[in-house]
Amino acid sequence: MKIKDIKELQNYANKIRQGIIKEVYMAASGHPGGSLSIAEILAVLYFNQMNIDEKNPQAKERDRLVLSKGHTSPALYSALALRGFFDLEELKTFRNINSILQGHPDMKNIPGVDASTGSLGQGLSIANGMALASKMDSEGVRVYCICGDGEIEEGQIWEAAMTSSHYKLDNLCVIVDNNNLQIDGEVSQVMNIYPIDEKFKSFGFEVINIDGHNIEEIIQAFEQAKKVKGKPTVIIANTIKGKGVSFMENKAEWHGKAPNEEQYRQAMIELGGAL
């Protein structure tokens, strides 16, 4: 599946957001803010870019996605369900004790999940291993790793970045969700990681800055990354935490809490989704 129509891809991003709100509301817990900010990125990856087959989730030649900021699993689950890896009705069971859809991605139980994540800072190391193995086996697999801007305060990210560059992992594409908010407030105030682009450049990465909500820019960035040879690429996606829901946008308090019934209804109305 490769959807090229920009409006259709934007529609999928909106459907991903509807799924996020439904999941977190039904569970009465979860992380909506940083999930909503990566909806366009996931829409482009799952419906335009990645070589994947929902009927064969374990295909050896498939592209891989590592959601390093694993607490934003509602976004990943919504994208996977829309792509057909499991039934959309499953989203209603998010975080239930017997559900496959737990608070963080579980590669053993969820079709389409390539890495179990949640302990922040570890995803890039996992992605490095996947990318290096693919190069050694000449499989042609591309590996995508989504990190949070607060997450890259973790030292392991930069150890992993050295590894990415040292092994010339040009089949690796890191996406930093730069919404400048984490659980305790603004990233720049909690632990300033700016300038992100200059830091990654100094670690040997090809750096691309984009509007993380602009579908065309996202597609162009991924296509540009495919042409880079001899070094890894990082796409710094400037985003808005809570994007698409007016009362959640740019509010750190929505990093990890669920909407009540009134807020749920307002959010779904704004997103044009069925209640």
> What's the length of the chain?
275
What is the C-alpha R_g of the chain? 17
Question: Which CATH number applies to 6-271?
Answer: 3.40.50.970
CA dist 208 and 158 (Å) reads: 18
pTM exceeds 0.85: yes
Token look-up 């009134």 returns 262
Residue 168 makes CB contacts below 8 A (sequence gap 6+) with: 230, 231, 232
pLDDT at 275: 54
What pLDDT score was predicted for residue 58?
95
* Gap between the Cα atoms of 235 and 171, Å rounded: 13
Alpha-carbon span 158 to 203, nearest angstrom: 8
Pseudo-torsion of CA 181, 9, 92, 31, nearest 10°? 0
Q: Do 118 and 104 touch, CB atoms closer than 8 A?
A: yes
Q: What is the 3-state secondary structure (H, E, C) of the chain?
A: CCCCCHHHHHHHHHHHHHHHHHHHHHHCCCCCHHHHCCHHHHHHHHHHHCCCCCCCCCCCCCCEEEECCHHHHHHHHHHHHHHCCCCHHHHHHCCCCCCCCCCCCCCCCCCCCCCCCCCCCCHHHHHHHHHHHHHHCCCCCCEEEEEECCHHHCHHHHHHHHHHHHCCCCCEEEEEEECCEECCEEHHHHCCCCCHHHHHHHCCCEEEEEECCCHHHHHHHHHHHHHCCCCCEEEEEECCCCCCCCCCCCCHHHCCCCCCHHHHHHHHHHHCCCC
pLDDT tens per residue across span 138-185: 999 999 999 999 999 999 999 999 999 999 999 999 999 999 999 999
Domain ranges of the chain: 6-271
Task: Give the Cα separation of 94 and 20 in Å (integer).
Answer: 10
The number of CA neighbours under 13 Å toward the Cβ of 173 is 28
Beta strands 181-182 and 185-186 are: antiparallel
Q: Let me know: does 131 contact 165? Beta carbons within 8 Å.
A: no
* Tokens at 91, concatenated: 């989203």
Contact 207, 199 (CB under 8 A): no
Q: How many CA atoms lie less than 13 Å away from 179 in the CB half-sphere?
A: 30
Q: Which segments in the chain show pLDDT lower than 70? A: 274-275
